[in-house]
Amino acid sequence: MCGIVGYIGKEQAAPIILDGLAKLEYRGYDSAGMAIAGEDHQINYKKAVGRLKVLEELTHGGETMPGTAGIGHTRWATHGAPSDVNSHPHFNKEKTIAVVHNGIIENYIYLRDYLMKKGYEFISQTDTEVLAHMLDYYYKGNPLEAITKVMHRVEGSYALGVLFADQPDQLFAVRKDSPLIVGQNEDGCFIASDVPAILKYTRKVYFVENQEVVRLREDHMHFYTIDEEEIHKEPTLIDWDANAAEKCGYEHFMLKEMYEQPKAIKETLMPQNNPRIRGDEITIEELDMTDDELRAIKKLHIVACGSAYHAGVTGKYVIEGLARVSVEVDLASEFRYRNPILEEGSMVIVISQSGETADTLAALRESKARGFKVLGIVNVVGSSIAREADKVMYTWAGPEIAVATTKAYSAQLIALYLLAMKLARVNNTVTKEEYQKLLCDIKLLPDQVELLLNNKNHIQKFANRYIGAKDVFFIGRGIDYAISLEGSLKLKEISYIHSEAYAAGELKHGTISLIEDKTLVAAVSTQEALYQKTISNMVELKARGAFVLAVTNEDNKAIEKEADYVIYIPKTNAYFTNSLAIIPLQLFSYYVSLGKGCDVDKPRNLAKSVTVE
């Protein structure tokens, strides 16, 4: 939610900040703003409601805001509607202190009342404005002192960029519970919410930890604790390809990322320098657990949000089916408040693309506080979840920019399959032949996904018929239900068409009353043992007027008798069908969204990483 960028150095700051914000726009895009240290100890600023391009136009790509130090922000509104006045940066009355903020100040009402009694006036509805006034209250010429005093008083989460008009040769970055990195190259220093924002300029980044402050100057950075003690930090070299954060000729990031799925799957199976399949063995070194320790796992709790949760639901079917280890899957936002029962022998797995999702992070902390080990399945290297989890198994999908996840979800499935196979191997719950078959089938997935992607034209034609749809239903049983959950979320989040996923057998317990003449129902049927059952449900639906699209295995030709339209997926292991069946559903959602003229990569009201509860 909200993206922050800052720069201080030899170059003009505004174009660099705008460029960085463009890479972070996925974090929020209802307004944007910038503050640049100008001459004569003034801060120049511009804010604009709407997409970043409004700010770009307003400042002629930054040209009208000269200066070599500044901070910028792209917003996803929490407190106060998107408006010019609520956009960041926020200021003290004299406009000599500028603040950009990502997070939520939980005690802002108390602090605002306190400051109002001291004569401070507030002009916005945001929680952030208290920070600017509080800094003003404590500022006596020493920025570090003022910042740390404010940190001692505020509760909640924050990643901040701060600029003081009378100190134009320095910028400050501050962090608690919201992501923040700083980076450096030979020309200057950078602040960003996420690596892609500065990848074009530097690969040398430092992860700012909770309750740390960074003072950035043109040629160096200093790190401090909340008690103003200086600390030493080592940089991390990021090896992501800079193109990963560019569209590279694709119309949308989502389309590009769908096409990167074969690579994401391959990299997650066989990370460079550390392949997870070695001969006949699955080696997940990051687990750092002996076979005996793996055998001792009695129960797994998978906790995640959104699509990562859906990957977890698939994981439950696959792990329970293959390794016979009991798995409970929870929505992270529910897990921490339901007083979950974690018994001896349980292990918690949190799944997250961004590694910053507030609910998932909270679930991780809750589990650790109860003394349980947490494995993070995470995509963003060095993210909060990656750093706080006891063990991290990275999904090597590379940076994902589109709000609707595709390649990270596919990589999460692979991580879960590998885990399931490893557990099955040590628990001896599959035969040698079954295990060999699994190994063989998992390696085929990248090519099979590619094949499905290359067959996109007929899906586009089909999707164009549904751009006017009011409701769409997705049904399936077992793993197919898990696929339906994800297919439905993809469609609704980017096309704004109401859609629901149902366990196929459950529809008749109420929801079938919503089926009208020509309502589209996508029936996912990839589990041979359940073909007949799903066909029965399709028949029930057709009898009530539904138009049934079936997504099934290439050998299930019998389905043609009952379905109105069939999409076939190549034959794979029953446990891996999700990886294939999701591809046409992603393409379908993409083309419906495109046909409706929606903003595919930045759907309304959403943000890529949800760092608030």
Q: How far apart are CA 566 and CA 562, in angstroms?
A: 10
Distance CA 177, CA 429 (A): 41
Considering the complex, what minimum distance in angstroms separates the CB of residue 114 from ligand M6R?
35
Tell the residue number behind the tokens 């030979």, with chain if given: 186
Q: Please, which residue, 319 or 404, has the CB nearer to ligand M6R?
A: 404
Look-up of token digits 């999460």: 412
| CA-to-CA separations, 289 to 247, 272, 285, 296, in angstroms, rounded | 39, 21, 8, 10
Nearest distance from C-beta of residue 23 to ligand M6R, angstroms: 16
Strand-pair category, 299-304 with 374-378: unpaired
CB of 70 to ligand M6R, least distance (A): 28
CB of 448 to ligand M6R, least distance (A): 22
Nearer to ligand M6R, 184 or 333 (CB): 333
Structure tokens at 450: 């590619």
Cα 181 from Cα 201, distance rounded (Å): 14
The span from the CA of 593 to the CA of 5, in Å, is: 30
| Closer residue to ligand M6R (CB): 99 or 489 | 489
CB of 220 to ligand M6R, least distance (A): 33
- Write down the least CB distance from residue 252 to ligand M6R, Å: 14
Q: Which is nearer to ligand M6R, 167 or 589 (CB)?
A: 589
Q: Which two tokens stand for residue 199?
A: 């990848």
Report how far residue 452's alpha carbon sits from residue 297's, in angstroms, rounded to the nearest whole number.
37
- For residue 145, which amino acid is it? E
Q: Which residue is nearest to ligand M6R (CB)?
A: 306
Decide whether 49 or 489 has the Cβ nearer to ligand M6R.
489
Query: Cα(426)–Cα(421) distance, rounded to whole angstroms?
Result: 9
> CA-to-CA distance for 409 and 322, rounded, in angstroms?
21
CA 86 to chain centre: 25
Q: Of 481, 442, 429, nearest to 322 (Cα)? A: 429
234 CB burial (10 A radius; 0-12, 13-18, 19+): exposed
Q: Which residues of this chain interact with ligand M6R, rule CB under 6 A? A: 305-308, 352-354, 357, 360, 403-405, 489, 493, 609-610
| Catalytically active residues, by annotation | 2, 608
CA distances from 390 to 288, 289, 351 (A): 10, 12, 13
